[in-house]
Amino acid sequence: MSFRRIGRVTYRVLFVVLFGLVVFGAGGPSSLAASNGGFGPAPGISGSSGEGSSPAVGPAPSAGEANVPPPRASGEEHLYPAVVLEATEVRATPELGSLGGGVQEVKLRVLKGPYAGREFTVENHLSGQPAFDVVAHPGDRVLVAVVSGPTGPEVYITDYYRENYLLYLVLLFAAALVAVGRKKGISAIVTLTVTFSLIVGVLVPYILKGYPPVPLALGIVLLITVVAMTFVAGFNRKSLAAILGTLGGVLVAGFLAFFVGTRVRLTGLSGDEAQMLLYIPQGIALDFRGLLFAGILLGALGAVMDVAISIASSVEEVHRANPELGRWELFRAGMNVGEDIMGTMANTLILAYAGSGIPLLLLFTAYGASLHKILNLDVIATEIVRALTGSIGLVAAIPLTAFFAALLATREKLRRS
């Protein structure tokens, strides 16, 4: 059976699998939204700043206010973007003045939804915590929650409105991919879309349904690897070698993470987000250690794929330039390329995790914590295991990919002989 025929069969199987997983897993996000009122915080967990703003104290209706429809049901919370027209200076209050908090009056105009064009004046309460406060200035775009009540709509400032600039950044990224890669760039956009769909449409809802996260992550890793490699490189011996090398490297990283994480008793609850999952409305007993290992598998996948396809492409080009080279010579050529890649790619993973942990390192240094204390903290041990197991998986992918690429490249030569 030729590689092209295998590719067609593989695409059909993948399409059926992806369609089935997304359709049968679609109940996860919808049930989450239904049980939690859309995007509002889960019970027992306060929003970032929703409680810091008071309801509208004096709506200033614009022309045509009588034609504006209310929300669909009383008490429902709806989020809309708004622009700040006027904002007073923060006025200290007796309760929060000592903490740097206070209150300011903000006049804003809702930009979208059934209240688009209406102006409201709200009290924006600040707690003195920069991570949660939304200090409004004229011209700022904010996200407001509008709740219908018996006396009219109540409006709260919940956060800054960031969607527009995030969308611009996504479009710029897509344009850069197409401008530089052309057809390959379009293929990269397709693979990214598939990756996002698998994570959001399959992995997340199935975990919320109670399925174990590690087997799910392994399946997602397999699908992402096959789709990404075949879309970018086609289904041929080069992509097959890269797929086998990637899966081998990720499995090495996953095994080491499971083995070491179990021995050092990682909890999977080192992050605030993981701790908040204890209070989700679904009432599911999540496997937090499994979530940690699943995250390590997905986190290592990108770098391992990058190394694998680079080595497989190098071996393929060397073979085309000199078809008479044997399996050992091609393997050595792949290893030479891998050795050059290894140092920088290992640094990529280490620096990515170290960069996110700089505030934590500064905190420990500021309080003079000892090295023994730091290394034995769950949060630090988790990041060390995450970074080192991913890097080891990356290194393991180099000889694996070189071996499979050399084996597949010399297979036809061995048949003829």
Residues 152-208 have pLDDT tens digits of 889 999 999 999 999 999 999 999 999 998 888 898 899 999 999 999 999 999 999
- Let me know the angle formed at the C-alpha of 87 by 81 and 88, rounded to the nearest 5 degrees: 155
Of the candidates 393, 392, 391, the residue with the CA atom closest to the CA atom of residue 247: 393
The backbone torsions φ and ψ at residue 204, rounded to the nearest 5 degrees and listed phi first, read: -65, -50
Q: Provide the pLDDT for residue 298.
A: 93
User: What's the N-to-C CA distance of the chain in angstroms?
Assistant: 20
Q: Are residues 155 and 181 in the same domain?
A: no
Which three-class secondary structure state does DSSP give residue 360? helix
The CATH number assigned to the domain holding 65 equals 2.40.50
Cα–Cα distance measured from residue 379 to residue 415, given in angstroms and rounded to the nearest whole number: 54
Would the pLDDT of 46 be above 90?
no
- Rounded to an integer, the average pLDDT of 317-344 is 90
Question: Which residues touch 376 (CB under 8 Å, ≥6 apart)?
Answer: none
Q: Are residues 93 and 238 in the same domain?
A: no
Cα–Cα distance measured from residue 110 to residue 120, given in angstroms and rounded to the nearest whole number: 8
Q: Are residues 185 and 148 in the same domain?
A: no
Q: Are residues 311 and 347 in the same domain?
A: yes
Q: Provide the pLDDT for residue 97.
A: 55
What band does 340 get if pLDDT is binned at 50, 70 and 90? confident
**Segment (H or E) for 254:** helix 237-263
| Domain assignment present for 170 | no
Q: Are residues 369 and 250 in the same domain?
A: yes
Q: Are residues 296 and 221 in the same domain?
A: yes
What band does 250 get if pLDDT is binned at 50, 70 and 90? very high
| Domain assignment present for 40 | no
- Rounded to an integer, the average pLDDT of 93-104 is 74
Q: Provide the pLDDT for residue 51.
A: 43
Residues 255-307 pLDDT 10s: 999 999 999 999 998 888 888 888 888 778 889 999 999 999 998 898 899 99
Under 8 Å between Cβ of 354 and 387: yes
Cα–Cα distance measured from residue 108 to residue 59, given in angstroms and rounded to the nearest whole number: 10
Maximal CA-CA distance, the chain: 90
Cα–Cα distance measured from residue 274 to residue 67, given in angstroms and rounded to the nearest whole number: 45
The angle that helices 237-263 and 378-409 make with each other, rounded to 10 degrees, is 150
Q: Provide the pLDDT for residue 223.
A: 94
Domain-ending residue, one of 161, 194, 221: 161
Would the pLDDT of 24 be above 60?
no
Q: Are residues 365 and 223 in the same domain?
A: yes
| Domain assignment present for 38 | no
Q: Helices (DSSP H) in 27-107: which residue ranges?
A: 27-35
| Domain assignment present for 343 | yes
| Domain assignment present for 309 | yes
Q: Percentage of residues in the chain with pLDDT exceeding 90?
A: 49
The angle that helices 288-321 and 237-263 make with each other, rounded to 10 degrees, is 150
Residues 103-142 pLDDT 10s: 999 999 999 999 999 999 999 988 888 888 999 999 999 9
Q: How many domains does the chain have?
A: 2
Q: What's the Cα-to-Cα distance from 12 to each of 7, 17, 294, rounded to whole Å?
A: 9, 9, 27
Would the pLDDT of 69 be above 60?
no
- Let me know the angle formed at the C-alpha of 244 by 242 and 247, rounded to the nearest 5 degrees: 105
Please name the amino acid found at residue 358: I
**Segment (H or E) for 82:** strand 77-87
Cα–Cα distance measured from residue 271 to residue 278, given in angstroms and rounded to the nearest whole number: 12
Q: Are residues 154 and 181 in the same domain?
A: no
Cα–Cα distance measured from residue 192 to residue 186, given in angstroms and rounded to the nearest whole number: 10
Under 8 Å between Cβ of 192 and 183: no
Which three-class secondary structure state does DSSP give residue 71? coil
Residues 134-168 pLDDT 10s: 999 999 999 999 998 788 889 999 999 999 999 99
- Check residues 2 and 194 and name the one with the higher pLDDT: 194
Of the candidates 114, 65, 63, 111, the residue with the CA atom closest to the CA atom of residue 85: 111
Average pLDDT, the chain: 81
**Segment (H or E) for 289:** helix 288-321
Sheet holding 119-126, edge to edge: 53-56, 119-126, 102-110, 77-87, 141-149, 152-160
| Domain assignment present for 64 | yes
Q: Are residues 179 and 154 in the same domain?
A: no
Domain-ending residue, one of 129, 161, 193: 161
Question: Which residues touch 57 (CB under 8 Å, ≥6 apart)?
Answer: 121, 122, 123
Question: Which residues touch 305 (CB under 8 Å, ≥6 apart)?
Answer: 225, 228, 229, 242, 246
Q: Are residues 125 and 200 in the same domain?
A: no
Q: Are residues 403 and 330 in the same domain?
A: yes
Q: Which residues pair with 144 in a beta bridge?
A: 80, 157
pTM of this structure: 0.72
Residues 209-243 pLDDT 10s: 989 999 999 999 999 999 999 888 888 899 999 99
Task: List the structure tokens of 112.
Answer: 């979208």
Domain with 250 in it:
3-28+175-416
Task: Select, from the ranges 56-65, 93-102, 170-179, the one with the highest average predicted confidence (pLDDT).
Answer: 170-179
Q: Provide the pLDDT for residue 275.
A: 86
Q: Are residues 88 and 207 in the same domain?
A: no
Q: Provide the pLDDT for residue 198.
A: 94
Would the pLDDT of 324 be above 60?
yes
Cα–Cα distance measured from residue 190 to residue 200, given in angstroms and rounded to the nearest whole number: 15
What band does 63 get if pLDDT is binned at 50, 70 and 90? very low
Under 8 Å between Cβ of 397 and 244: no
| Domain assignment present for 392 | yes
| Domain assignment present for 157 | yes
- Check residues 417 and 248 and name the one with the higher pLDDT: 248
- Rounded to an integer, the average pLDDT of 337-341 is 88
